Amino acid sequence: MFLDRLQGSATLVRNAVRLRETIERLGPSAIKIGQQLSIRTDLIPQEFSDELIALLDNVPPFTLEVAHQLVKQELSQPVEVLFSEFSEEPIGSASIACVYKARLHTGEVVAVKIRRPEVTQILVSDLAVISILCRFAEFTGIIERGKSEPVVQELRRMLLDELNFLVEARQTELFREDAAKTNRYVTAPKVFRHFSTSGVLVTEFIEGVFLLQVLDGIQRGDEAYLKSLSTQGYNLQMISRRLMNVFYWQLFENPFFHADPHPSNVVVKPDGKIVLIDFGATGTLTSKYRRDLLLFVQSLAEGSIEGMVRYMIASLEPLPPLNLEAYTNEMYHAMREYLFTARSKHSNWQERSSGRAMTALTEVSRKYNIVMRADVLRYIRASFQFDSIVYRLNPDLDSRKEFRRYLRQRTKRIRKEMRKSRKQISSIGSNTASLQLLNGKWQERLSNLDSTLSFLSNHTVQLEWLFRRRVSGLMLLLAWIVSIVRTIAAAVLVLVLWTWCRQYHPLWPISRFIDAGFTFCFSSDLQMLVAHIPTLSERLWFWVSLALVVLLFSLQSLMENLQTPKSKVE
């Protein structure tokens, strides 16, 4: 990088490529960090994020003998007893585990995921080193204080979840059950729990096409391959619409969502059903963030820029002290540009994807020192990856239209459930008429309550908006005033120490050094001023200095309190 600067050829793109190549050489731990940093556009420039997204987790597999040994160690039985067939080569090799294809004695074809030996100890040690390096970087000012901790915590949480295959098995089963109840487009592999441990996971082997292969064919322009997919019944436009539906369903209805839906983790079966695999990384949205996100997407579908900005900023609370007026104006401009670009028929898929809005959000937030929460980061990560899939499958996809279609389907499903509940109530017995009357009255009351809450919600949102603007401006002003007072107190403390040294210890080297420095910076006028200060007892100078030190620490504590993010409730 230094040589590039000397030669005048230094660019962010060249530095980003060099960083990616270095991370690839450092191994799996560094690759995981690079994958996490790739979505942290609030911490790194966009050029670095774009390059780090291209990181491939290709790791040489361990030997077949080691695989057999690990299976026997985890399941207490040899491979020959557990499986009738076991592939000699893995069908997948990643930094955490290798996956083999096998067959149970009952005839079921399964995928056996085996954790790499000693990977737990390696990653735990790496995490400890990473934490120390980040603290050192914050201490030296290379990284702004407090910004690395959320990244390290998210990385630690993600890696520990991925290392424990029982967590992945549980999340896979729950997703499969929830999808079977409310979404016919998606499912997850069946888990064989009696063959699964924290180090080995056995699931059904999914027959179908990995979207990584489909996207590779699209990128290469392989018309023969794409035609063969169409002949087999794979409709890429339908798959893209279903993927968008599945994404909305995960965010707004399911208890959790797949946080790493890259093309290698998405399989399409011949009947068109989508199968998500590898649930080691999942995300959960709070009810508040889910509500704000739903209202943001709804404002986007309606073309309301003001609503987009309002709910986007509300989703980032609590906010640190900042100039909310300037932040709102920049967000308004960014969302306006995104909305107009998304509505244009001449925009490419990268410009119309929601990832563009997320990029604008993170860039503006980074400028105002707003640190993203872990749930927001996982949503942004999943949003980027879903967009990169659906828009490459169908460049003409209209996300706003698909969201309105999803809302209609969701409304129909809710109405169907309500009709089913009314039928159950009406079939209870002799009190049918009274129960129906009671049901009608409660429905009328709930309808009135819903209308009232809707009316109050609109006015509450406006009050919240005004409240946040006033409080944020007040905190910014107070922080500025305290900063000035702290600077004045520090200057007075230095003058007090200098005067004390001149009056009682003028021959000390430190006194002579300070005296020379002040004379050089402020000429002799300051010395004359200090010379007219009355001579006080040394004990009194000590107590004055101590009081000033206490005042400085108090002001520093007050500054930290003012800089602590305040929620709208507070």
Q: Which residues are catalytic?
A: 260
Residue 231 tokens read as 């002949």
Which residue type, as a one-letter code, is found at position 342? A
Q: What angle do CA 297, 298, 302 make, to 5 degrees?
A: 115
| Pairing mode, strands 274-276 and 186-187 | parallel
**8 Å CB contact between 357 and 29:** no
Amino acid, res. 41: T
CB 200 within 8 A of CB 75: yes
Residue position matching structure tokens 């063969």: 228
Q: Which two tokens stand for residue 304?
A: 């309301």
CB contact at 8 A, 98 and 63: no
Q: Is 462 helix (H, G, I), strand (E, B) or coil?
A: helix
**What is the arrangement of strands in the sheet containing 186-187, beginning at the earlier edge strand?**
186-187, 274-276, 266-268, 209-210
Report whether 31 contacts 20 (CB < 8 A): no
Which amino acid makes up residue 553?
Answer: F
Q: Which residues contact residue 83 at a Cβ distance below 8 angstroms, ignoring those fewer than 6 apart?
A: 102, 103, 104, 105, 110, 112
The amino acid at 334: A
One DSSP character per residue, 30-80 reads: HHHHHHHHTT-TTTS-HHHHHHHTT-----PPPPHHHHHHHHHHHHSS-HH
Contacts of residue 413, defined as CB under 8 A and 6 or more positions apart, other chains included, come to 182
Cβ contacts of 486 within 8 Å, gap of 6 or more: 552, 555, 556, 559
Cα–Cα distances in angstroms (integers) from residue 23 to residues 60, 129, 545, in the given order = 16, 16, 51
Backbone angles phi, psi at 434, to 5 degrees: -65, -35
- Strands 109-115 and 200-204, bridge-based pairing: antiparallel
